[in-house]
């Protein structure tokens, strides 16, 4: 859910996302199997999705980041800074183990800083704990789900929000398994969230 929320925000500002699942050295075989299923869902949408671990060098990621300006973002403690240290061992950026009592990161990175990996620049960022859709309107939400955006042109009604409207191509695509139900469920939750938000004056 947090990932989909994040993807919506990233799409809304026109940045190309690259999804990384970190610390896969800690995952069990069952967990890896589950992650592979998510990987195929996101790849079918058109996203790049990679399972990584800082116990291994990340040569192809280095190449991907070369000559670009990127931002690495995610919850506190997921290993953003550790990954940058792996990509460029000269950086020696500070990292911290996650808090045992709280079960989450300690907000070690406290400011945004651009660091170099090959000829690319990457902004390390502080971990966030919540995201909100304050700047996104109900009628644009579907644009930020690429698979919904693609189907929306076939909906019977212009301005269809793919919610309670009849003859909705998006809902049909969910029923036919062309759109992952979990993605559509999140779309509906975000939509309801936006529709229930207090109006701003």
Rule CB under 6 A: which residues touch ligand GTP? 22-23, 25-26, 53-55, 76-82, 95-98, 105-109, 126-127
What is the closest distance, in whole angstroms, from the C-beta atom of residue 133 to ligand GTP in the complex?
22
Residue 78 or residue 179: which is nearer to Mg ion going by CB?
78
Residue 81 or residue 133: which is nearer to ligand GTP going by CB?
81
* CA pair distance 64, 66, nearest whole angstrom: 6
Check the CA dihedral 64-98-125-197 and report its sign: positive
Of 58, 64, 48, 60, whose CA–CA distance to 79 is shortest? 58
CB burial of 23-55 (b: ≥16 within 10 Å; e: otherwise) equals: bbeeeeeeeeeeeeebbebbeebebebebbbbe
Q: Which residue spans within the chain are E strands per DSSP?
A: 18-21, 48-51, 69-72, 113-117, 120-124
What is the closest distance, in whole angstroms, from the C-beta atom of residue 199 to ligand GTP in the complex?
34
Task: Write each residue from 79 to 108 as x if it is in contact with Mg ion (CB under 5 A), else as -, in one continuous string.
Answer: -xx--------------------------x
Residue 39 or residue 80: which is nearer to Mg ion going by CB?
80
Residue 81 or residue 86: which is nearer to Mg ion going by CB?
81
Residues in touch with Mg ion (CB under 5 A)? 80-81, 108-109
């Amino acid at each position: 859910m947090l990932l989909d929320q994040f993807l919506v925000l990233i799409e809304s500002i026109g940045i190309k996302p690259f999804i990384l699942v970190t610390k896969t050295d800690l995952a069990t075989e069952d967990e890896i199997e589950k992650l592979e299923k998510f990987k195929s869902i996101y790849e079918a949408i058109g996203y790049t999705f990679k399972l990584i671990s800082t116990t291994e060098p990340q040569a192809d990621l280095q190449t991907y980041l070369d000559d670009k300006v990127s931002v690495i973002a995610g919850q506190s403690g997921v290993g953003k800074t550790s990954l940058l240290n792996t990509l460029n061992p000269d950086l020696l950026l500070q990292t911290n183990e996650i808090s045992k009592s709280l079960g989450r990161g300690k907000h070690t990175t406290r400011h945004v800083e651009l660091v170099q990996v090959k000829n690319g620049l990457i902004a390390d960022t502080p971990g966030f704990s919540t995201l909100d859709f304050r700047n996104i309107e109900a009628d644009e939400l579907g644009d930020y789900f690429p698979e919904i955006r693609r189907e929306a042109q076939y909906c019977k009604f212009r301005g269809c929000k793919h919610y309670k409207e009849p003859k909705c191509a998006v809902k049909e695509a969910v029923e036919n398994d062309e759109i992952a139900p979990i993605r559509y469920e999140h779309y509906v939750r975000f939509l309801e969230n936006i529709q229930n938000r207090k109006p701003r004056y």
